[in-house]
A = this chain, B = another copy of it.
């Protein structure tokens, strides 16, 4: 379909591309919640059938999208609100189990500012696996003892390896119960940039992310549940042409491999990575809160 020619990593945007058409998408359930006080909107997109998955171009599963306009602004107290909300929904996807071993992978290229979200988030996590292995469960002084490990695998141009090869090797060796991957995403529209966080239990699909990871990181491929947390930080250059033209017929080939990003992306990535790492520390019950 013409309207799907421009790639998006966001289920929310895939859904929106059907709006205006008078058909509902079979096998896709959408719910919205709006927290007026904190100005945080949550959209749940559930893809419950193969047909829904085909139409959406995304695998079956749950997609939670949290939108908050002030997400990238330098207001520490508001960030904590977003972190709390994010931790809440993340725990919903993680389930009730306690004392798990959780590997967090920060995908992307730390040397390209809008792609550094994953690496920066992992660098601010509380890492506990080695401490608990050496000193026992009480070491963190909290009731819960999740063993958290973290990895920043780098991108293929830096390693010569697929991200999935590296992660699979580490998963095999260290046997975590759960993998959480953090990734910078490509949105369809600049409106979504740096104000939207997507959580999904479907993992990472080929061709997603700013750097277009080609292989899967999914429960099917790795044997453990995979939660992906993504924030759109770029738009493919093709998409903004499409938006202004309504079609892609005159898409110049030299725009392949080009992305569009805001000039103050350094500040945005700094703020967002704090928000995400704080949310993860809360969800893992390693911080005083949540």
CB distance from A282 to the nearest CB of B (A): 11
Q: Tell whether A202 is near chain B: CB-to-CB under 8 Å.
A: no
A220 within 8 A of B: no
A211 CB–B CB distance under 8 Å: yes
Give bound CA distance, A264 to B240, whole Å.
20
Most buried by B among A123, A159, A251, A260: A159
Interface size class of A (residues with CB under 8 A): 35 or more
Complex-state Cα separation, A159 to B102, whole angstroms = 11
Contact of A159 among B126, B150, B241 (CB under 8 A): B150
A150-165, CB under 8 A of B: which get 1 and which 0?
Answer: 1111101111111001
Within 8 A of B (CB), among A145-185: 147-154, 156-162, 165-166, 168-174
**Chain A residues in the interface with B (C-beta under 8 A):** 74, 76-77, 109, 111-113, 115, 122-123, 126-131, 147-154, 156-162, 165-166, 168-174, 190-191, 210-211, 237, 240-241, 243-245, 250-252, 254-255, 257-267, 287-288
B257 touches A258 (CB 8 A): no
* Chain B residue at minimal CB-CB distance from A288: B77
Pairs across A and B, CB under 8 Å, 11 listed:
A111-B266, A123-B158, A127-B159, A129-B161, A166-B169, A168-B169, A190-B252, A190-B258, A237-B240, A243-B252, A259-B263
Shortest Cβ distance from A109 into chain B, in angstroms? 6
On whether A148 and B174 interact (CB within 8 A), knowing A210-B263, A255-B190, the answer reads no
The answer to whether A160 and B172 have CB atoms under 8 Å apart is no
Instruction: State in angstroms the CA–CA spacing of A152 and B111 once bound together.
Output: 14
Q: Which residues of B contact A260 (CB under 8 A)?
A: 237, 255, 258-260
Given contacts A161-B174, A288-B76, contact A254 B191 (CB under 8 A): yes
Alpha-carbon distance A101/B23, docked complex (angstroms): 53
Q: Are B169 and A158 in contact (CB under 8 A)?
A: no
